[in-house]
């Protein structure tokens, strides 16, 4: 069964360092989402791509976060510099069509900033 | 704007029923339901679309009241495997679909 791949699964870094997360969606899925999930809360959308275009990044802290999906397939989320408050689970998800279809979530990257 | 879920937590015995509610202050086009077990990623349960189309999963059902901007998830004869946190995700009517999830409802099913 096709799955969304993410790496790394765990990342520990010191504040002010740069970190990057990678996501490979299910083949053929045009829509890709990056979420941040803090313990005890629901996933918060950071950025949504349709193919290689950004549909929404209104919740992305653009002074330190960046995301790209250059060829409309895999995607990278970067944080530079990392802050203590960035510690969270970062989830990637993909779907065939944004509105009508289920999202398939990857296993996530657990980020700890010391 | 984030949908509001209620209750925040439910504790059941196996075989009991539960209802989880999701409401929005904005007009809805669709409602998605997901379940997340501790330490795992959310897993899709159901989509309800404006106009009544419904895609289901397992023995869990749901309703979608467009006028009231609400959805309810019904878990009948709960099994131990139903334990987890349930999230509803909503999308605004019209324009691009931008998903927003509620804070979740924690469901614990005891033997």
Q: Is residue A114 part of a domain?
A: no
The pLDDT value given to residue A46 = 96
Interval B59-80: pLDDT, tens: 788 988 888 889 999 999 999 9
Range of the domain at B25: 4-110
Contacts of residue B67, Cβ cutoff 8 Å, sequence gap at least 6: none
Total domains in chain B come to 1
Interval B84-98: pLDDT, tens: 999 999 876 556 678
Total domains in chain A come to 1
Q: How far apart are CA B34 and CA B44, in angstroms?
A: 5
Contact A42 B30 (CB under 8 A): no
Residue for token digits 């990056």?
A34
Q: Which of B71, B98, B102 is nearest to B89 (CA)?
A: B102
Pairing of the two strands B105-110 and A88-95: unpaired
| Backbone φ, ψ for residue B91 (5° rounding) | -135, 145
> What tokens appear for B111 in the block?
């033997």
Give the percent of chain B with pLDDT over 70. Answer: 88
Instruction: Give the sheet arrangement for strand A65-68, strand by strand.
Output: A5-7, A19-24, A75-79, A65-68
Contacts of residue A18, Cβ cutoff 8 Å, sequence gap at least 6: A78, A79, A80, A81, A82
Q: Is residue A65 part of a domain?
A: yes
Asked if A70 has any chain B CB less than 8 Å from its own CB, the reply is no
Gyration radius of chain B's alpha carbons = 13
Interval A34-84: pLDDT, tens: 999 999 999 999 999 999 999 999 999 999 999 999 888 999 999 999 999
The pLDDT value given to residue A107 = 95
Interval A3-39: pLDDT, tens: 999 999 999 999 999 999 999 999 999 999 999 999 9
User: Mutating which of A2, A43, A97 best tests the B interface, going by the most B Cβ atoms within 10 A?
Assistant: A43
Q: Which of A10, A13, A21 is nearest to A92 (CA)?
A: A21
Residue for token digits 């802050």?
A83
Range of the domain at A69: 5-107
User: What single string gives the DSSP state of each residue in B29-41?
Assistant: EEEEEEEE-TTS-
Give the CATH number, domain containing residue B12: 2.60.40.10
Interval B31-47: pLDDT, tens: 999 999 998 999 999 88
- Closest partner residue to A103 (CB to CB) among B44, B96, B104 is B44
Asked if A91 has any chain B CB less than 8 Å from its own CB, the reply is yes
Q: Is residue A20 part of a domain?
A: yes
What pLDDT band is residue B82 in, cutting at 50, 70 and 90? very high
């Amino acid at each position: 069964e096709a799955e969304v791949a993410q790496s790394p699964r765990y990342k520990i870094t010191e504040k002010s360092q740069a970190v990057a997360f990678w996501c490979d969606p299910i083949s053929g899925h045009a829509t890709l989402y990056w979420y941040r999930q803090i313990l005890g809360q629901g996933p918060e959308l950071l950025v949504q791509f349709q193919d290689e275009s950004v549909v929404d990044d209104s919740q992305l802290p653009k002074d330190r976060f960046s995301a790209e999906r250059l060829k409309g397939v895999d995607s990278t989320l970067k944080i530079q510099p990392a802050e203590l408050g960035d510690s969270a689970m970062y989830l990637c998800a993909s779907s065939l069509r944004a509105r009508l279809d289920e999202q398939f979530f990857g296993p996530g990257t657990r980020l700890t900033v010391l | 704007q984030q949908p509001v879920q209620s209750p925040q937590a439910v504790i059941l015995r196996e075989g009991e029923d539960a209802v989880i509610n999701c409401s929005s202050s904005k007009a809805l086009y669709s409602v998605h339901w997901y379940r997340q077990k501790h330490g795992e990623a959310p897993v899709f349960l159901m989509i309800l679309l404006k106009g009544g189309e419904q895609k289901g999963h397992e023995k869990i059902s749901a309703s979608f009241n467009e006028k009231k901007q609400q959805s309810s998830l019904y878990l009948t004869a709960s099994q131990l495997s139903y334990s987890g946190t349930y999230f509803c995700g909503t999308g605004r009517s019209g324009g691009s679909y931008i998903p927003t999830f509620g804070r979740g409802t924690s469901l614990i099913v005891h033997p």
